[in-house]
Structure 1
Amino acid sequence: MPVLSPLGLDPSHPFPKILNKSLNIVVVLTGTDAFGRAGHLAVVRAPRSLPRIIQLPESLGGTQNFVLLSAVLSTFVDELFPGMDVRGAYQFRVTRNSELVVDEEEVENLALALRDELVDRGYRPAVRLEIAHDCPKPIVQTLLQNFGLSDNAAYRIDGSVNLNRVIQVYDLVQRPDLKYPPMTPRVFKAPEGIFAAVARKDVLLHHPFDSFGTVLELIREAAVDSNVLAIKQTLYRTGKDSGIVEALIQAARNGKDVTVVVELRARFDEEANLGLADRLQDAGVQVVYGVVGYKTHAKMLLIVRREGRKLRRYVHLGTGNYHSGTARAYTDLSLITADADIGNDVHQLFQQLSGLASKRTLDCLLQSPFTLHSGLLQRIERETQLALEGRPGRIIAKMNALNEAQVIRALYAASQAGVRIDLIVRGACTLRPGVEGISDNIRVRSIVGRFLEHSRVYWFGNDGRPELFCASADWLERNLLRRVETCFPVLDDNLVQRIHREVLQNYLDDNLNAWELQADGHYRKCEPQPGQAPHSAQQALLEVL
């Protein structure tokens, strides 16, 4: 209670500014205070220094019991208003528009403009009010009026207004029997060094089953290798205390030419990325803020190394961020290669991002916003033509979300031509599968398991000569048309077969953690059929560690 500052509402105490997504209690009062002022409404703001989940001591029921801070405040709020009669206390939270508005065509310094915008982000216009389900309608109307919201912006919540906080319980409860057992990822072993191993053949990492430490070790090795001349990398989200950032700083201090493309507009990481850019620049790293009007979402690392009298490019391309935290919780794919054509493509992409290079024709990679969208449409059309000619057309694709209209129309046309299409889409999907005469040959499933599915893989049958791509992009309008993204082929046949086996067929066989999208937009939980063995895709990958 000592850290709380209740605010009674009256002409001298107008409705306070409420910070975005902060927990608040609106209190209904009657009676008069010490100054004779009649009570009506008050607001109690919960400081962010207080835990939202409180573990009870043994004397109050045992350490396995928890209470929400909002419940404690509502129950004991009368202690903040001695002599007044508390008629009701209701939790609420307001969500504000967090989109930063910067006219990138006009500003001379994007970093400075973003810093100015971040100052006011917590108090931008409100877009949603979440309020306790039993709050009286007049109180709800008062809150809506103060926030400038219409009736349909109010969401009555029977429970916590921020369920995200409940994740704290996992760490507080000491019940190993209720938790997944710890896992130890595979570590890529290269006694001769990573560069020698990659020079011999491409390396594929399937995170989190394969350790992300291999990527970090690649950059660390480059930072101290006297033959490494230059390092170029994109950074979208890195997390706190990033080992990759430390390695890049060390490389710059060791005299390497280091260029980093930092995406300042990575939503909710803008402030962190501004600080990251400052640290890198202070160490002598050349920092580029990407391209005006296009978020740089591509995951690329290029290392230029002197080998004898030649220069060789080593490349890392991935489907996920250079973030050691998410690499332990998300499924993603990493390809490390010394292929000359891929290396040249990545070099040209960095030329576009850091300089003013014109649009180039790439040998291997597809890129947004130039060739990825059209490249996908061409490959879907190719499978469609194969089916129309009586040959098997086949498409399997895995992604986080799908909404791009032209791609969806092309998939419908392919289905009607007889192409068998399997889509593994974790999140939002605006395509409707199984609609008679339109999408009979399309199946869509989502896998929800221990790890968050994040890898993007596109497989095209190509009349018996399969093409397989991994990408940073989902099949969303923003990714295909308004972002800088990379889509890279896997050229090693053994790695193609491995990805098809582990990431595609394995997930199509899942009958424990899979949900199939129905023609009416609902999802149906998959279950083993009679005589069918239960199969979890993620568990199968864990069992071979």
Structure 2
Amino acid sequence: MNREVQQNLKDPALHLNRELAQLEFNFRVLAQAEDASVPLLERMRYLCISCTNLDEFFEVRVAVLRQQSALGELRPGPDATPPSEVLARIRERALTLVKAQYDFWNTILLPELEREGVRFSKRDTWTVKQKRWLQGYFRNEILPVLSPLGLDPAHPFPRILNKSLNLAVVLKGRDAFGREGHMALVRAPRSLPRLIRLPAEVAESAYDFVFLSSILHEFMDELFPGMQVKGSYQFRVTRNSELFVDEEEVENIALALRDELRGRGYAKPVRLEVADNCPKGISDMLMQNFELTEPEVYRCEGPVNVSRVNAVYDQLDRPDLKFPLFLPRVLPAVIEEQSLFEAIRERDILLHHPFESFGPVIELVREASVDPDVLAIKQTLYRVGNDSPLVDHLIEAARQGKDVTVVIELLARFDEEANLRLANRLQEAGVQVVYGVVGYKTHAKMLLIVRREQGVLRRYAHLSTGNYHQITSRLYTDFGLMTSNPDIGEDAHLLFLQLSGLGPIIKLKCLLHSPFTLHKGLMEKIEREIEHARAGKPARIIAKMNALNEGSVVEMLYRASQAGVQIDLIIRGACTLRPGLPGVSENIRVRSIVGRFLEHSRVYWFQNDDTPEVYCSSADWMERNLLRRIETCFPIRDPDLAKRVYDESLANYLADNTLAWRLEPDGSYTRLAPGDHPPHSAQQTLLTQFTQ
């Protein structure tokens, strides 16, 4: 490959912007809501997901970009787009997305829900009986916890909590102290539900809900007796939620993180949402107080924060409006063996969630906690969820006198507080808790059990693409491998030693790990496919992941395409590679699957001259995963299991023509349709296969 071509591959025009690619994912989520073939309440959930995703996008990505732009930090990515320009383009796309969300809510979802007996009643539709009941609810349940704040020199604009619902109230007349009409702010009580269900005796439909904000609007005058409420307007501010803890400068990261968390809710604002009927004078006043400008203001043609309606999903006993229930399969090998250790010793066990139960993982830890032959348990925890039985079993193991070590990532975004509580609980039970490595998030998913068998120590390992989270294991697609392979066990042992003991660089036998060998190993495997293609041998790469944005990997894939390697990428979220460019990426195809389950597994397949290698990993091909995190990548060496991974996660998904979207060279996505071919849904195929 000559120098000129190599230089061309660094051309910014060959790379899509990562933030815009990430934002684009939410249009595909919203398209699921707009799909009439999806059950109605699930369509509501997809709308809510697109809204909460957009919140997080502003809290993290937009916040960082605004900070870079304000400080003049011109650190564009491989696409070389300055932060200020990216922000302008985000504004344009976000406005389009917000309009589409509210159009769907107002013109499609509300009428269709009402036809099914699910009603979100507005103030102008309330009957006399309903209004009387709601007034009683306001006086008995809401009014006692409200604390309105009048704005004057003695009461300056208060600090507004991140994403809290507030109302700006315009008043006329004199208050008790003789002050002429002024403004006040009312914060919706966080202790009360945002949606109130009307009782059967006053409801107009089977399920009749009223927004808390509507009740506040209607009875606001009772908060200000003797004054006239000229208007009340909802608003919500989104703040920077990216925590910064200088890990090299603090002596105790847990204490430093607690301090940071206290201030997160009041960090620098990045977005202001206001009701569409909010007068310009009010929105200008809010902008001034939040130090925002017009491009950071978004007008909502409906309730601010529509995602709150997701709370009614579990209240509705309407299985006909939801996805059909399914029971994950439990592997026969797990059921038949008296001991999971016996089953794993016999043969590696592969679990494909959510189609197969997460129960065996919990059972393995439970069995280890009470087994007198188990000496030690080591586990990484990134996100684990509340009331996890895994945590209970780890605590029981410590109480049974076993050596239990848990590596907890305190900086798992938006789970920081939960992980701090978890760390305290484990430490109080005698578990040795490690917070990972300074400057590198521990994102690896590993479990290692050391057991004495006939006088010899044997290691049992579980490695996974997903978190040890019982709830998300029913919602996310992931692979987990249970094995007693000595090489994998030894590698896992060395990794835990490195995490807990902060030892030197280690050499592993079969695992690849970030930030040391995973990036290099991927580049070498892609290079090997290039050499095979040039030699006229079969050369192909198939990879499934959440995101791809690491510049050097993108360039290496371009090189592989130029050499004739056939490349298929299944990337759920952001992808900065441009497929289908003549002379550069015409041999690369990229698709995204958005369906009932969140695609979360990471699988890499290399043809390797018809001796395929299959890897599963906790890492996406992103800069942070490959270069700035602790990640693992493990081979699937059992031929039958490797074939399963290929068939279920790769070939199956490449055949999908109902949930798949094709990435175009310009960064847009086109939804695929069956056309003359039989419809094929990858997720439904697996549901059918595993629940028969």
Q: Give the AA of the match of 2:231.
A: G
- Residue 98 of structure 1 is matched in structure 2 by 241
Q: CA separation in 2, counterparts of 1:382 and 1:68?
A: 59
Correspondence for 2:591 among 433, 445, 453: 445
Q: CA deviation at 1:153?
A: 1.9
Comparing 357-366 with 153-162, greater Cα deviation is found at 153-162
Q: CA separation in 1, counterparts of 2:530 and 2:221?
A: 69
Q: CA separation in 2, counterparts of 1:473 and 1:73?
A: 46
Q: 8 Å contact 2:329–2:355 — kept in the other structure?
A: yes
- Residue 11 of structure 1 is matched in structure 2 by 153
- Residue 678 of structure 2 is matched in structure 1 by 533
Q: Deviations over 1:436-456 (max 9, x none)?
A: 322212111111111111111
Q: Give the AA of the match of 2:254.
A: A
Q: Confirm or deny that 1:435 pairs with 2:565.
A: no
Q: CA separation in 2, counterparts of 1:160 and 1:443?
A: 40
Note the 1:488-499 alignment, pairs <5 A: 488-499=634-645
- Residue 46 of structure 1 is matched in structure 2 by 188
Note the 1:205-284 alignment, pairs <5 A: 205-284=351-430
Q: CA deviation at 1:274?
A: 1.2
- Residue 461 of structure 1 is matched in structure 2 by 607
Alignment CA distance shift 1:163-1:376 (3 Å): farther
Q: Deviations over 1:158-205 (max 9, x none)?
A: 223323322223212222111112111111324231101111110000
Correspondence for 1:516 among 638, 644, 662: 662
Q: Give the AA of the match of 1:156.
A: R
Q: Secondary structure of 1:120's match?
A: helix
Q: Deviations over 1:127-170 (max 9, x none)?
A: 22122223222222211211122332222222233233222232
- Residue 31 of structure 1 is matched in structure 2 by 173
Q: Give the AA of the match of 2:149.
A: L
Q: Which runs of 5+ in 2 are unaligned?
A: 1-137
Q: CA deviation at 1:34?
A: 2.7
Q: Deviations over 1:374-425 (max 9, x none)?
A: 1111111221222222223211111111111111111122122221111111
Q: CA separation in 2, counterparts of 1:277 and 1:519?
A: 46
Q: CA separation in 1, counterparts of 2:226 and 2:583?
A: 71
Q: CA deviation at 1:490?
A: 0.5
Q: CA separation in 2, counterparts of 1:175 and 1:192?
A: 40
Note the 1:271-310 alignment, pairs <5 A: 271-310=417-456
Q: CA deviation at 1:435?
A: 2.3
Q: 8 Å contact 1:434–1:441 — kept in the other structure?
A: yes
Q: 8 Å contact 2:510–2:635 — kept in the other structure?
A: yes
Comparing 51-60 with 533-542, greater Cα deviation is found at 51-60
Q: Deviations over 1:479-504 (max 9, x none)?
A: 11111000111110100100111111
Q: Secondary structure of 2:282's match?
A: helix
Q: Deviations over 1:3-51 (max 9, x none)?
A: 2222221112111111111111112233322322122322110011121
Q: Give the AA of the match of 1:88.
A: G
- Residue 422 of structure 1 is matched in structure 2 by 568
Comparing 225-234 with 45-54, greater Cα deviation is found at 45-54
Q: Give the AA of the match of 1:378.
A: E
Q: Secondary structure of 1:13's match?
A: coil
Q: CA separation in 2, counterparts of 1:85 and 1:414?
A: 71
Q: CA separation in 2, counterparts of 1:309 and 1:447?
A: 49
Q: 8 Å contact 2:437–2:502 — kept in the other structure?
A: no
- Residue 542 of structure 1 is matched in structure 2 by 687
Q: Give the AA of the match of 2:189.
A: P
Correspondence for 1:177 among 308, 320, 323: 320
Q: Confirm or deny that 1:116 pairs with 2:259.
A: yes
* Aligned-pair Cα RMSD in Å: 1.5
Q: CA separation in 2, counterparts of 1:228 and 1:125?
A: 50
- Residue 82 of structure 2 is matched in structure 1 by none
Structure with higher RCO (Cα < 8 A, 6+ apart)? 2
Q: CA separation in 2, counterparts of 1:137 and 1:369?
A: 51
Q: 8 Å contact 1:56–1:63 — kept in the other structure?
A: no
Q: CA separation in 1, counterparts of 2:344 and 2:688?
A: 27
Q: Give the AA of the match of 1:195.
A: F
Comparing 131-140 with 364-373, greater Cα deviation is found at 131-140
- Residue 95 of structure 2 is matched in structure 1 by none
Q: Give the AA of the match of 1:407.
A: V
Q: 8 Å contact 2:512–2:521 — kept in the other structure?
A: yes
Q: Give the AA of the match of 2:368.
A: A
Higher helix share: 2
Q: Give the AA of the match of 1:275.
A: R
Q: 8 Å contact 1:415–1:438 — kept in the other structure?
A: yes
Q: Confirm or deny that 1:186 pairs with 2:352.
A: no
Alignment CA distance shift 1:190-1:166 (3 Å): same
Comparing 353-362 with 425-434, greater Cα deviation is found at 425-434
Q: 8 Å contact 2:550–2:621 — kept in the other structure?
A: yes
Moved over 4 A (4+): none
Identity of aligned residues (%): 66
Q: Secondary structure of 1:86's match?
A: strand
- Residue 132 of structure 1 is matched in structure 2 by 275
Correspondence for 1:71 among 206, 214, 220: 214
Give the number of aligned pairs. Answer: 544
Alignment CA distance shift 1:443-1:72 (3 Å): farther
TM-score w.r.t. the length of structure 2 is 0.77
Note the 1:356-505 alignment, pairs <5 A: 356-505=502-651
Q: CA separation in 2, counterparts of 1:316 and 1:67?
A: 47
Q: 8 Å contact 1:57–1:63 — kept in the other structure?
A: no
- Residue 471 of structure 2 is matched in structure 1 by 325
Q: Give the AA of the match of 2:530.
A: T
Alignment CA distance shift 1:437-1:73 (3 Å): farther
Q: CA separation in 1, counterparts of 2:530 and 2:306?
A: 45
Q: Give the AA of the match of 2:470.
A: S
Q: Secondary structure of 2:265's match?
A: helix
Q: Deviations over 1:60-114 (max 9, x none)?
A: 4213333332233234333333343333322111112222222211211111111
Q: 8 Å contact 2:446–2:463 — kept in the other structure?
A: yes
- Residue 348 of structure 1 is matched in structure 2 by 494
Q: 8 Å contact 2:410–2:420 — kept in the other structure?
A: yes
Q: Give the AA of the match of 1:220.
A: R
Note the 1:130-169 alignment, pairs <5 A: 130-169=273-312
Higher strand share: 1
Q: CA separation in 1, counterparts of 2:552 and 2:450?
A: 38
Q: CA separation in 1, counterparts of 2:553 and 2:291?
A: 39
Q: CA separation in 1, counterparts of 2:186 and 2:597?
A: 38
Note the 1:196-207 alignment, pairs <5 A: 196-207=342-353
Q: Secondary structure of 1:145's match?
A: helix
Q: 8 Å contact 1:55–1:63 — kept in the other structure?
A: no
Q: Deviations over 1:282-315 (max 9, x none)?
A: 1111111100000101000000111112111100
Q: CA separation in 1, counterparts of 2:585 and 2:170?
A: 55
Q: CA separation in 2, counterparts of 1:159 and 1:436?
A: 46
